[in-house]
Amino acid sequence: MKITYIGHSTVLLETEKANLLIDPYITENPLAGLTIDALPKIDAIILSHGHGDHIGDTQAIAERDGSLVIAIAELATYFGWKGLKTHGLSIGGGYTFPFGRIQLTIAFHGSSVTLEETHQILDAGMPAGILLDIEGKTIYHAGDTALFSDMKLIGKRHPIDLAFLPIGDNFTMGPDDALLAAKWIGAREVVPIHYNTFPPIRQDASKFVDQLGGCGLLLTPGESIER
């Protein structure tokens, strides 16, 4: 499996059975390591929540590739109304797809879709973390969450091979809380995400990774690993 960190919270997973994209915020992301034109055909898009810097290019990519959009039920309904193929889940619920199993965990922060032209904010259901069991690996993408103590339970029940944790502060947990989160989930490898895209979330990711010790893994936007 090839895993590419595109920037912000966007992660591309290329597997033998499918290409998956988590939280596709690319076109408007100044630090994105790829353009959507450079992406392979995307079979499924997995969304942690409805904020614009996470659903960003969902519509364009799904219309181009016929991608299945997997998200919390309310957000899946929103994109279904836009003509996309969707599969809705609820917190704690999971489903086994042809490429692997996805389960949504709790996450603590907001989730909404902002319609700037009409000054409307639409409820997008609960925010989520994403547990993905694929090709014998368990990957945890925490979305925009704050630190919460049930991360201990997530790590206890799911031996996590690779975790993507936000460190930006301001909108998510900051580096100190993310260090504790990494300890609680006990992942073999931890990659920092959701930092440096905007001025309020500037962080020293190298320092964070150094503090993690042997499990820390720093990926620059556009960088890939094989797992």
Q: What pLDDT, in 10s, does the model give residues 151-193?
A: 999 999 999 999 999 999 999 999 999 999 999 999 999 999 9
In a domain, 225, yes or no: no
Distance separating alpha carbons of residues 1 and 6, to the nearest angstrom: 16
- Examine the pLDDT at 5 and tell me if it is beyond 90: yes
- Listing DSSP states for 74-124 in one string gives HHHHHHHHTT-EEEEE-TT-EEEETTEEEEEE---S--EEEETTTTEEEE-
What's the whole-number average pLDDT of the chain?
97
- Residues 102 and 179: their CA atoms lie apart, in Å, by 25
| 227 falls within a domain | no
- Regarding beta strands 2-7 and 223-226, do their DSSP bridges make them parallel or antiparallel, or are they unpaired? antiparallel
d(C-alpha 146, C-alpha 181), whole Å: 9
Q: Which domain holds residue 41?
A: 2-219
Q: Is residue 158 in some structural domain?
A: yes
226 found inside a domain: no
Helix (H, G, I), strand (E, B) or coil at 216: strand
Structure confidence at residue 202 (pLDDT)? 98
186 in a structural domain: yes
Residue 1 C-beta-side C-alpha neighbours within 13 Å: 22
pLDDT at residue number 126: 95
Dist CA 116 CA 132 (whole Å): 33
In this predicted structure, the answer to whether residue 115 has a pLDDT above a threshold of 90 is no
Q: Amino acid identity of 63?
A: E
Give residue-wise pLDDT tens across range 74-84.
999 999 999 99
Is 54 part of any domain?
yes
The stretch 12-34 carries a mean pLDDT of: 96
Q: What is the mean pLDDT of residues 68-77?
A: 98
pLDDT at 132: 98
pLDDT above 90 (res 122)? no
Task: Answer yes or no: is 66 within a domain.
Answer: yes
CA distances for 32 relative to 9, 28, 55, 190, 220, angstroms: 10, 8, 14, 20, 10
CB atoms within 10 A of CB 117: 6
Task: Report how far residue 150's alpha carbon sits from residue 171's, in angstroms, rounded to the nearest whole number.
Answer: 20
Angle at 83 between CA 77 and CA 88, to 5 degrees: 30
Q: Per-residue pLDDT for 11 more than 90? A: yes
Nearest to 189 by CA among 213, 151, 163, 227: 163
Pick the closest to residue 79 from 99, 97, 61 (CA basis): 61
- Residue 87: what residue type? H
Name the domain count of the chain. Answer: 1
Residue 168 domain-assigned (yes or no):
yes
Contact status, residue 5 vs residue 18, Cβ threshold 8 Å: no
CATH code: domain of residue 129: 3.60.15.10
Return the pLDDT at 148: 97
pLDDT tier for residue 117 given thresholds of 50, 70 and 90: confident
